[in-house]
Amino acid sequence: MKKQIKLIAAGVGSRFGVYASYARRHPDEVSFVGFADANEERLRLHAEEFSVPAENCFSDAKELFNAGIEADGAVICTMDSMHYENAMDAMKNGYDVLLEKPLALSEEHCLELRDTAIETGRKLMLCHVLRYSPFFTKIKDIIDSGIIGDICTVQAMERVEYWHMAHAFVRGNWGNSKRSCPMILAKSCHDTDALLWLCGKRCKRVSSFGSLKHFKAENQPEGASDRCLDCKYGDSCPYSAQNNYIKRVEEGYTGWPVDVVMRDATVEGITEVLKTSDYGKCVYKCDNDVVDHQVVNMWLEDDIAISFTMSSFNTKHGRTIRVLGTRGDIDADMSEAKIELSVFGKEKEVIDLSDSMSDSAHGGGDDRLFADFLSLLRGDATNSKSQTPISHTADGYLVCFAAEKSRLNGGAVVEL
């Protein structure tokens, strides 16, 4: 039988739900022994559910990490701007850490966290769920097998669904780069991370273009209101709060992103909330400034060229990737759970991963990542291909900062 891992957790909001859900289903593998959250109600509900005593519950993460609670590790799911301080506090108090992305909001802080982990010998694992999705692990296996030869080119795309963009990156937590961080860091750090991990090489040079083209005041339709509920375009605007939230509740759906606006939503309840909440604002009249489309070019060791595109104008969510090698190529679509493998001169093989990718969110990545963190704490994760030491994981972040620097500098090449 596996040893039960005891964890403390800071920030028990929306994302923490993934780990709470795992713990509910696998109580023999993991338990929570301390919580911190600024939201009293969330703190109380989680403490009740996981029988965490009041003396181990705090309104601030710092207090939790300084409380001397005996635990095998810490999970940090606070908002982006708190990651640096929280992870530092956790490591300095002797905890191994599972930290939500992004690692930190500045290059200096990312490097400090990396160096602190190395100096203190603490394990610092980032929640880069793509690495754990059977979709990406299969692509990694194919590349590492050598069957497609040496990689020359990778063409990757992250398709953010139009309503997801409106929810999270226009109206929501990640719309404004000063309150959170640039899109390349908030959303596409998963991609820079996965691309470097797949290639197993370091990036040497980066350039990038991108802008906020659509979600701004000048594109508000004539006569539109600044709040959706009294807007004449309510039904016809694809981004309206009516379409994004109320319609979903009418259809009986109350999961993400509806639950970010209101837990256990009813039509009447969410309609009332949207009258004043930021999630009821016109997408053309928010305080957002993060890009809605961006391309990044990366030049890696071994002459590997990667082009990555993020766009918010999609009906389909997910990633596509083509890996072109000297002896074959991979053409894969995550939303279709399908990988086409062609070895030059042989018949194409189509790999269907739909069964293995549907067992948890992020293409099956969420559960596998958390299970691997628990294995790491038990000391039996040495065979996981998805893990890399923090010294490597931090590299993907250096690409994000370089890309943003390049974008703001007209696409100039940034050397790493």
Ligand X SMILES: NC(=O)c1ccc[n+]([C@@H]2O[C@H](COP(=O)([O-])OP(=O)(O)OC[C@H]3O[C@@H](n4cnc5c(N)ncnc54)[C@H](O)[C@@H]3O)[C@@H](O)[C@H]2O)c1
Task: Classify each residue of 339-351 as buried b or exposed e, where b means 16 or more C-beta atoms within 10 Å of its C-beta.
Answer: bebbbeeeeeeeb
> From the CB of 82, what's the least distance to ligand X, in Å?
6
CA gap 282, 305 in Å, rounded: 39
> From the CB of 130, what's the least distance to ligand X, in Å?
8
Which residue is nearest to ligand X, using beta carbons? 13
Q: Mention every residue, 6+ apart, whose C-beta is less than 8 A from residue 383.
A: none
Q: Mark the segment that binds ligand X (CB under 6 A) among 20-28, 30-38, 139-147, 235-243.
A: 30-38
CA gap 313, 323 in Å, rounded: 24
> From the CB of 146, what's the least distance to ligand X, in Å?
30
Q: Which of residues 314-373 bind ligand X (CB under 6 A)?
A: 362
Judged by CB under 6 A, does residue 78 bind ligand X?
A: yes
Q: What is the 3-state secondary structure (H, E, C) of 3-37?
A: CCEEEEEECCCCCHHHHHHHHHHCCCCEEEEEEEC
For residue 349, give both structure tokens.
């093989």
> From the CB of 279, what's the least distance to ligand X, in Å?
13
Please pick, from the candidates 77, 87, 154, 224, the single residue that binds ligand X as defined by CB under 6 A: 77
For residue 122, give both structure tokens.
């603490």
Q: Mark the segment that binds ligand X (CB under 6 A) among 12-20, 25-33, 262-270, 285-293.
A: 12-20
Indicate the residue among 11 and 325 with the shorter CB distance to ligand X.
11
Q: Mark the segment that binds ligand X (CB under 6 A) among 37-45, 278-286, 336-344, 389-397.
A: 37-45
Q: Mark the segment that binds ligand X (CB under 6 A) among 34-42, 229-237, 266-274, 396-404.
A: 34-42
Please pick, from the candidates 15, 131, 140, 368, the single residue that binds ligand X as defined by CB under 6 A: 15
Please pick, from the candidates 42, 202, 227, 285, the single residue that binds ligand X as defined by CB under 6 A: 42
Q: Which of residues 108-137 bind ligand X (CB under 6 A)?
A: 127, 129
Distance of CA 399 to the CA centre of its chain: 16
Judged by CB under 6 A, does residue 61 bind ligand X?
A: yes
Site map (CB under 6 A) of ligand X, residues 164-183, x = contact: --------------------
Indicate the residue among 172 and 210 with the shorter CB distance to ligand X.
172
Please pick, from the candidates 9, 23, 30, 36, the single residue that binds ligand X as defined by CB under 6 A: 36
CA gap 104, 369 in Å, rounded: 20
Q: Which helix (H) or strand (E) holds 153?
A: strand 151-161
Please pick, from the candidates 30, 46, 101, 139, the single residue that binds ligand X as defined by CB under 6 A: 101
- Yes or no: say if 295 and 192 are a contact pair by the CB < 8 Å rule: no
> From the CB of 62, what's the least distance to ligand X, in Å?
7
Indicate the residue among 15 and 201 with the shorter CB distance to ligand X.
15
CA gap 398, 321 in Å, rounded: 21
In the beta sheet, which residues pair with residue 155? 307, 322
Indicate the residue among 12 and 71 with the shorter CB distance to ligand X.
12
For 4, half-sphere exposure in the C-beta direction (CA atoms, 13 angstrom radius) is: 9
Write down the residue that tokens 């991979």 correspond to.
Answer: 330
Indicate the residue among 130 and 231 with the shorter CB distance to ligand X.
130
Walk across the sheet containing 338-343 and list its strands.
349-352, 338-343, 328-333, 318-325, 151-161, 304-314, 293-300, 203-211, 414-415
Please pick, from the candidates 39, 211, 266, 409, the single residue that binds ligand X as defined by CB under 6 A: 39
For residue 185, give both structure tokens.
């860091």
Judged by CB under 6 A, does residue 13 bind ligand X?
A: yes
Indicate the residue among 164 and 201 with the shorter CB distance to ligand X.
164
In the beta sheet, which residues pair with residue 124? 97
- Strand 318-325 versus strand 30-36 pairing type: unpaired
- Yes or no: say if 294 and 140 are a contact pair by the CB < 8 Å rule: no
3-state secondary structure of 39: coil
Indicate the residue among 237 and 399 with the shorter CB distance to ligand X.
399
Q: How many residues bind ligand X (CB under 6 A)?
A: 22
Judged by CB under 6 A, does residue 79 bind ligand X?
A: yes
For residue 135, give both structure tokens.
């979709």
Interior angle at CA 88, CA 82 and CA 93, nearest 5: 125
Which residues contribute to the site for ligand X (CB under 6 A)?
A: 10-15, 36-39, 42, 60-61, 77-80, 100-101, 127, 129, 362
